[in-house]
Amino acid sequence: MDVFEAIKDRRSVRKYKLERVPEDLVKKILEAAVWAPSGSNIQPWKFIVIKDKKVLNMVRKISPGYFGDAPLAILVCSDKKRAYNLGGELGRDYLTVADCAVAVQNMLLAAYTSGLGTCIVKSFSSTAIKHILEIPDGIEPELLVIVGYPDQSPKPPSRRPLEEITYLNKYGKKYFKK
Amino acid sequence: MGKEKNNGNKYLFDLAVFLATSARGCVEEPHLYGPFRLIDALSRLTELPKYATCIKEDPFLTEMKRVIDEKKFLVISDAEAFKTFLENLVREFAKELKRRSLERT
């Protein structure tokens, strides 16, 4: 599949089949994540693959933004100590978030091109998820990626037109003419 | 993921966890997520008769749950349509309130 096709056709899925995700695809999604660029190549990410039903159920319950019964979730965390040691305050406070987001987009595209649906969830309780998954201090949960075989085909939401948001050489001078 | 065995105590606790984590999330989340969590909680609350046998299933609330679950994600795609949906939902509740009130007198 062409990468642009994947970018445009991927949707956030909130209804999944119960079918499990094969291990080779889990590995493929994680490999896609770690090949994302990161500020100063710090690679601040850590991943927790959640497959155990009991653990998944606990995570779902403390995540008001988690919809559907997907058989897999991957919590993308940032290592704040590593980011600070290698990237200073900028690394710790800003780049970790940006880097994890870039890695997550790679994960979504790798999953989509493998026939899987995904949804990014940020609406979870950090305090609760750290307790449930025994995450140590210095490791911050950033984004939860829900993964499974989709049981819905959401329609594409609208996009702001390029004419409205793109400028040439200076802010305000339109790049695209209508 | 298979369905967990369900009972009233579990239902109540799960709803409580949802409300507590939602309350905390609403401190920083987009302001429309407050209404979103409330109607999602309402949808979950309509399942109460399954677990509390002293409460009969309410066909009106069951229908409202269907509508809520169908429309609630408008919050992500179309804020104005989400607000209109909430307006219409409240109108349906007002109509039903009036009908039930007049029925009693």
Are B86 and B39 within 8 A, CB to CB? yes
Residue A148 lies in a domain: yes
- In single-letter form, the type of residue at position A118 comes to T
Q: Of all residues in chain A, what percent carry a pLDDT higher than 90?
A: 96
Annotated domain spans of chain B: 8-104
Residue A170 lies in a domain: no
DSSP annotation string for A86-147: HHHHHIIIIIHHHHHHHHHHHHHHHHHHTT-EEEEE--S-HHHHHHHHTPPTTEEEEEEEEE
Predicted TM-score (pTM) of this structure: 0.88
Residue A173 lies in a domain: no
Note the pLDDT of residue B1: 44
Are A118 and A103 within 8 A, CB to CB? no
Q: What is the ipTM of this complex?
A: 0.75
Put simply, whether B4 touches A (Cβ < 8 Å) is yes
Q: Rounded distance, CA A68 to CA A19, Å? A: 13
- Condensed to tens digits (0 to 9), the pLDDT of residues B30-73 reads 999 999 999 999 999 999 999 988 999 999 999 999 999 999 99
Nearest to A74 by CA among A41, A40, A49: A49
Domain that holds residue A50: 3-165
pLDDT at A169 over 80: yes
DSSP B52: -
pLDDT at A149 over 70: yes
Query: Which residues from A are below 8 Å from B77, CB to CB?
Result: 157-158
- Condensed to tens digits (0 to 9), the pLDDT of residues A133-143 reads 999 999 999 99
Note the pLDDT of residue B2: 44
pLDDT at A177 over 70: yes
- Condensed to tens digits (0 to 9), the pLDDT of residues B80-95 reads 999 999 999 999 999 9
Among A61, A70, A158, the residue with its CB nearest the CB of B14 is A61
Residue A177 lies in a domain: no
CB contact (8 A) between residue A123 and residue B33: yes
pLDDT band at B6 (very low <50, low <70, confident <90, very high): low
